[in-house]
Amino acid sequence: MIKKITTILALFILGGLTSLRAQNIKLVDPLEPIYPDTNHVEQYSANYREDFPLNTNADVHLLIETAPGSQISVSADINKRPVPLSAWSQLLDVPVERNTGLTGRTEIYNHQINPYVIRRAPFRIYEAIQPLKQAQVVSSNRFTALRLTIDRSLISKAGDYTCHILVKGKGWQSKAVFTIKVYPVKLPSVADQQFFYTNWFNIVQMEKRQHVERWTKDWFAMLDKYARLMAHGRQNCINIPDELLSYHDNHIALDEKRLLDYIAVFRKYGFKYFESPHIMYRGDNDDWNDPELKVALTKRRYHTPEAKLDVDTMVHLIKNFCVKNNLEHSWLQHISDEPKQIQSKCYREVVAQVRSIYPAIKIIEATNDRDSLAGSVDLWCPTIDDYQENQAFFDGRKKHNENVLVYTCLTPGGKWLNRTLDEERLRQVYFGWAAAKYNTLGFLHWGLNQYHVPDPLQQSVVHHFAPGAALNNELPPGDTHIIYPGTDGPLSSQRFESHRIGIEDYELLRMLQSKDSTVAAGIIAQTFTSYNDYNTSVKKYREAKSQLLKALSVKSTEANAK
């Protein structure tokens, strides 16, 4: 009998503790990393306040500790108006099997420990954002994470807004308050933003994950969902599918009808740049030491009459299409990815031929060399470490009417900015701050949805797929993608949203720079010094962001008074 009473009492106490924990809901800044197994809950509270400009959404995360299997329901109102179900999402956790390396790739590449990660692998982290179909979820971990997004239409005027949040479980309920201050500073639309942003899109992966057949009605409907998500993340450039420029029976053709249909989907969401596929490559064996490039379509070596005729045909097709469809200022042409010095002579020859046919064309390239390519690239795209270490060269190219954007891929690692899963979300934000400080154009990344695993929600580190890659040559966690495949369409991610915030910050900083460059520089200096020197405190970043919004508000008031 005593044993039975003790057991009942223990269950009662355990149930009470679980209930108490469940009622202690925490609101968390979306830039803070949160995990399904353990969190520093003492640093969060049920009250969260943040500042925002006009023309953006206001987001906050809910961290709820309950026993796995518990049912949780959520609701909210803002200034006494109900918040729709569409405002709610659940955060899905993904694995980090190995940490990003000190120089790049993963730590097994050169067996050096990277001290600049947010947590030692292996671990799981909340990352993918899945919209709720109903206002209830069932917890599957110790910590459940939800995302509340207050749409810009609900905070469309400057002022203060109070969002009351109610979370219920079996036998308990808990409240939280999200306070929003909107400043009279309006962000430009994607169509009007100055920041150039592209993530390379893999349509084959879209088709495989979403079960749609190319060029069908369902395919275009799914493409529309991807374009909408990209535009939400402030991407304004999209790569053109390789197949639209084709080679069959010794004949090169451009499918203008399908190309226009494809472009129309993205124009609908404000996209203004379109990247043509590379017309040259290093060959099927990816030989980085061969000085002669090959035509991607026909595989012919460039220093042959046939290959030069191939280039002539392709560029004439592109030129005629752009002129007919008012795309002369929107079309960006890749020649060959990441040319090294050994390929530079051939690269320059190809560019000279392309420009002789179409002088107005703009060449964009991720570059691995500098001086040997000078004068042959209009939009330089070095890695961030290459740019920072050779800033004088790249800044000098601006005097020749060339521009510079930057990129990252499997490198750099360590403390450099990047987008891998085991790094601070502030690193994605600071890409915008870096662009404002250095007056660069924007950012390119190869991996929007370049999945190389059956399920990116269950694997984030993959072996490098280049021919001959050694076993220790891995892509770091999440490098292949920044969005996820959902059941009904693509899912955003913490990293994707953080990068969006940084681009929005860039637009705000540019506004302030045009009004008072000294004040803007002072605000940037508070948190960001260089691509590998920055403040990792989300609180310090938010304080600088608030100062930015206040400064813009003051400048706007002063301008209106005149």
pLDDT score recorded for residue 482? 98
Indicate whether 529 pLDDT > 50. yes
pLDDT score recorded for residue 14? 40
State how far the Cα of 290 lies from the Cα of 283, in Å rounded to an integer.
9
Mean pLDDT, rounded, of the chain: 94
User: What is the average per-residue pLDDT within 498-509?
Assistant: 98
Residue 562 binned pLDDT confidence (cut-offs 50, 70, 90)? low
Residue 176 binned pLDDT confidence (cut-offs 50, 70, 90)? very high
Half-sphere exposure of 547 (CA within 13 A, CB side): 15
In the chain, pLDDT over 70 holds for what percent of residues?
A: 95
Indicate whether 53 pLDDT > 70. yes
The candidate with the shortest Cα–Cα distance to 131, out of 146, 152, 114, is 146
Which parts of 55-209 are beta strand (E)? 58-65, 71-78, 81-82, 88-96, 123-131, 136-138, 143-150, 159-169, 172-186, 196-199
Residue 192: CB atoms within 10 A of its CB come to 11
Peptide bond into 122 cis (omega under 30): yes
Q: What is the pLDDT of residues 230-254, one digit of tens each?
A: 999 999 999 999 999 999 999 999 9
Residue 561 binned pLDDT confidence (cut-offs 50, 70, 90)? low
Indicate whether 3 pLDDT > 70. no
Residue 259: CB atoms within 10 A of its CB come to 19
State how far the Cα of 297 lies from the Cα of 295, in Å rounded to an integer.
6
pLDDT score recorded for residue 141? 95
Output the CA angle 387-389-395, nearest 5 degrees.
50
Residue 5 binned pLDDT confidence (cut-offs 50, 70, 90)? very low
The candidate with the shortest Cα–Cα distance to 405, out of 432, 380, 439, 372, is 380
Q: What is the pLDDT of residues 398-419, one digit of tens each?
A: 999 999 999 999 999 999 999 9
pLDDT score recorded for residue 467? 85
The candidate with the shortest Cα–Cα distance to 29, out of 124, 138, 165, 148, is 148
Q: What is the pLDDT of residues 146-170, one digit of tens each?
A: 999 999 999 999 999 999 999 999 9
> How much is the pTM?
0.94
